[in-house]
Structure formats: C-alpha cells, structure tokens
Amino acid sequence: MSRSSLPPRIIVYDGACRFCSAWVRFLLRRDPRGLFRFAPMQGAYGSRLLVAQGQDPADPATFLYLENSRPYTDSVAVIRVLGQLGGAWPLVWLLWLIPAFLRDPAYRLVARNRYRWFGRKDRCELPEPGMAERFID
C-alpha cells in the first residue's frame, strides 16, 4: 500500500475492545464532516498499517492515527483526533501544556488495562447503517 493511496485520516483501533469500539462510536457521532476513516486492527488493512509502524497487531500498546500518512500514537494521537472535531473539542489542544512524560503513562495505563476494565468482544461489531463507508476492512 503506497503512502499516496492512504485516506488522509485513518484511525486503527482494537475492534475487539469495548472501550475502543465506544471511542469509535463517539468519534462517528461528533465527526459529521466525515474526516476520519476507521480500520480495525483485526482486519488485513489495519494489521498492515500497524506492522508498517513497528507495532504488533496481536498485541498493540496503543491505537494508531495516521494523518496524511504521518503516524501518531498515545496521547498525541488522542489530542490530534479530538482537536479536529467541531464544537468545543478543539479546546483539547490545551492538553499540550501537560508534558508528554505525564500524559503518555496515563494513556498507557488505560491501554494496558482496557480489556480488564472495559471488557472484550468475540468479534468486531458491524458499523451502524450509513456509516459503513467510513470503515476500511
């Protein structure tokens, strides 16, 4: 897959994680412009993107956000994604005032415990009607 063939904004997420799936639903509701495309890491496309960024698709430590082919992970990815939503969400850019050495461990704590705290599904859920075009794989 060439860099030029990638959609401009892709979120690779854990489709088996209940918290991650809720995150995707949250973004879909708040992204009426359709900025983001979503690829579950369990799919071939999402898995290839993770491998290309040096992440293990079987055990990713974070979700991957690609913006114009540039990869972002951890708290940086969350801030970049939320900052592009409408309404008051761009205020999330103020989180840049918190140093990454404080933000990222908090993010990783949630990422490491996501199954224990929020649960795991046997398979990825299907997109809501009208949203299928936003998903890759």
Bridge partners, 66 (sequence order)? 10, 71
* 63/16 Cα distance (integer angstroms): 13
Q: Identify each DSSP E strand in 1-131 by its residue range.
A: 9-13, 37-40, 64-67, 70-72
23-81 per-position pLDDT tens digit: 999 999 999 899 999 999 989 999 999 999 998 888 777 789 999 999 999 999 999 99
101-136 per-position pLDDT tens digit: 999 999 889 888 888 898 888 766 666 777 888 999
Domain spans in the chain, listed from the N-terminal domain onward: 3-126
Check: CB of residue 49 under 8 Å from CB of residue 43. Answer: no
84-102 per-position pLDDT tens digit: 998 888 898 898 899 999 9
* 30/51 Cα distance (integer angstroms): 29
DSSP H or E segment with residue 121: none
* 69/117 Cα distance (integer angstroms): 32
pTM above 0.85, yes or no: yes
Tokens 């969400």 belong to residue: 89
Tokens 């496309």 belong to residue: 45
Cα R_g (the chain), whole angstroms: 14
